Structure 1
Amino acid sequence: MPSAAKQAATSSIEHSHHYPPADQEPAKSSLARFLWPSEFETERDRLILGNGASELIDLVIRMAPRGTWRPGPFYTQYKEYERSARNNGFELLPFAGNDRANVACLVNPCNPTGDYLELDELKAWIASNVLPGGYAIIDESMQPWHSEQFREHSLTSQREYVEALYREQGISVFVMHSWTKLWCCTGLRLGSVVCPTAEHMRAIKKIQVPWSVNTVALAFLNAVVDDTAYLRDTWELTPLWRKETVDRLQSLFPDWVFHGRDFLSWIWIDTRDESVAQRAVELARAAGVPVRSGGPGYNLPTFIRVAVRHPAKVDVLVEALQKLR
């Protein structure tokens, strides 16, 4: 967790006898400035914060036109969108198919598979998969790892496209973020969504529980967006550590298949053997460096997901996995 933001969160406890600000300020404006350094004043009215992305996912899908729902074009993705769609009575369509849906949700970069669509590919997918009057929800939680130029590759930079799509076809594009991954604060629950218009934002605000984001999380966010050194380290070290981890594991297990772009903070690995994957999970957990199984939730039991971590922790993981050989 970034140290200055952690200190700001800790200090904010002194103000916990007050309700958090209902307008989420000044944290909301600070995040807007982070997303749109030059245009934040005109863009911030499309932005709303939530108690993790999970709250906002559910709120947006509750507002969406009823009918069919489909996931992105990848064989699996983060399951919270599917869970919310099922709970709200949508007919679930498979990821592969030609039918456009009332609501389509794409995680980009895709967690866990590591697939990634550039902006032109993303726009083509929306055009092919969302019905007129429908919702497109694009999860860009892992987008900021891309590089220092992540904003240029993000759908948040495409206001004219989003406005034209809504004006001409009635398609509403929402860009979702979970900020707890980038800034290592999962316990604080902090997310946001960029709406197609300010009217959409106000519609979410109307059904959102008051004071959804607590004082500590708001203080953390307000401080962390200014920690440029932390982001520089993230952009510099993540691809280096990821490549080193892939190289080391690949030398041990040449039959394993490694997936994902080089900037991602995790590695999606097909061990090609369910028993090997399960044993890898057990060995890593016992060594104190747990990895995720692809079995629960994704029903892909030959896969594991390994986080990109400091080389010293990778040493522990590699030593533990030596027992698989």
Structure 2
Amino acid sequence: MLERYGHGGDLVTASDLFGITADEFVDFSSNMNPFGPPEVVLHVLETKWRELDRYPDPAVRGLRSKLAQRHGIKPDHILCGNGAAELIDLAIRALRPNQGVGLAVPCFGEYADAAHKYGGSVVKVPMFEEDSFRLSAERVLEAASGYDRPGIWMLGSPNNPTGVTVDRDLVLQLLDTGAFVVIDEAFLDFVPNEEAITLIQEATRRPNLLVIRSMTKFYAIPGVRLGYAVGSEETIAQMRGQQTPWSVSSLAQWIGEAVLDEEAYAHRTQRWLAEERAWLTNALGALGCKVFDSITNYLLIKLPDESAIEAAQLQQLMGQRGVLIRDASHFEGLNGRFIRVAVKLRELNERLIQALSECLQQR
């Protein structure tokens, strides 16, 4: 199983399974910007390496200041972390909900893992294929007002693996119930009009709202591990009190500050994605796949009804061809008919379509 450790992008496991070196794979199982890290990352590595004999800034002041300027908020509303995964964990650890954690499934597995790690229960609101996996306000608000109502809601916007955002009005209604709401906006940078969608400004004004952002997906630096959370000063202080000292390395801080200035890189990525996502969606549809609408850089796909192949078998056949896909049946609420793929550059997307066409024709 490629998702041995719960995620895509595990090239070591893939090499063990398929006998192919990591460099030979085209990895559609993880959702990174295919342009790779901005050039400025190399400049940072070349010019700052001698400073690695110093401790990192424990308060991450330089990066927090740049993020605050970017979002028009105060640095005290920001906590930087070792990727969004650490911040999800810190949110649960700091808030310790007595009434459990509310999730809209299918969703990122780290939400439930964090809740269970600290002894919390999980309340699940299902999203259905017939609704294009959009979150029903009626179902959420019913769960939010019930006897077992959650103390915290953790919602992806865009959601992983569906690529759909949560309706802003629904989030505000949840906040009005008194619940604490954590919005994971890890992939929102890929959306050109993110300013109209993000709840970062709202999170500085609402004591029961926290927004989590990742910097690793958009800037293609997952090996660096970097993300940040925005919330009330009180919530941020609570999370900081639970955080391991020097959680954000010097390299992560330097690179984070540098990439925030890469506006041309950001605009290029957003222009490319709008065109390439449409091309890939059409190409997958031509193979008989059902592709669900996504506003970000990955697509949830249902395999053709006439094909007997299941996601796990397809993942094996594709892996043997050097193409890695995500078996989406590992997301709760999805069955063996679903896969997830990243959107990559045209040449690589063509390779995906060719390999997928060959595999779907096998009996």
Per the TM superposition, whether the score is higher than 0.5 is yes
Whole-Å separation in 1 of the counterparts to 2:92 and 2:283: 42
Q: What displacement does 1:297 show?
A: 4.5
Q: Quick check: 2:171–2:181 contact (8 Å CA) kept in 1? A: no
SS at match of 1:275: coil
Indicate whether 1:285 and 2:316 are aligned.
no
Which residues in structure 2 correspond to 1:267-278 (within 5 Å)? 267-271=299-303, 272=305, 275-278=309-312
Whole-Å separation in 2 of the counterparts to 1:270 and 1:72: 22
State the TM-score, normalized to the length of structure 1: 0.86
SS at match of 1:312: helix
Moved over 3 A (4+): 70-73
1:53 equivalent among 76, 84, 97: 84
Match of 1:169 in 2: none
Q: What displacement does 1:111 show?
A: 0.5
Which residues in structure 2 correspond to 1:132-211 (within 5 Å)? 132=178, 134-147=179-192, 149-158=193-202, 163=205, 165-166=206-207, 172-195=208-231, 197-211=232-246
Match of 1:85 in 2: 115
SS at match of 1:122: helix
1:257 equivalent among 274, 277, 290: 290
Match of 2:13 in 1: none
Indicate whether 1:106 and 2:155 are aligned.
yes
Whole-Å separation in 2 of the counterparts to 1:274 and 1:15: 56
Whole-Å separation in 1 of the counterparts to 2:269 and 2:98: 41
Q: CA RMSD in A?
A: 2.0
Report sequence identity in percent: 25
Q: Quick check: 2:103–2:122 contact (8 Å CA) kept in 1? A: no
Q: What displacement does 1:182 show?
A: 1.0
Q: What displacement does 1:29 show?
A: 1.1
Whole-Å separation in 2 of the counterparts to 1:297 and 1:153: 25
Q: What displacement does 1:64 show?
A: 1.3
Change (3 A) 1:5 1:31: farther
Whole-Å separation in 1 of the counterparts to 2:46 and 2:93: 34
Indicate whether 1:69 and 2:100 are aligned.
yes
SS at match of 2:223: helix
Q: Quick check: 2:284–2:291 contact (8 Å CA) kept in 1? A: no
State the TM-score, normalized to the length of structure 2: 0.78
Q: What displacement does 1:66 show?
A: 2.9
Q: What displacement does 1:314 show?
A: 1.1
Q: Quick check: 1:9–1:219 contact (8 Å CA) kept in 2? A: no
Indicate whether 1:294 and 2:338 are aligned.
no
Q: What displacement does 1:154 show?
A: 0.7
Whole-Å separation in 2 of the counterparts to 1:65 and 1:278: 36
SS at match of 2:125: coil
- Report how many aligned residue pairs link the two structures: 302
Whole-Å separation in 2 of the counterparts to 1:122 and 1:290: 35
Whole-Å separation in 1 of the counterparts to 2:169 and 2:308: 37
Q: Which runs of 5+ in 2 are unaligned?
A: 1-36, 127-138, 145-149
Change (3 A) 1:300 1:14: farther
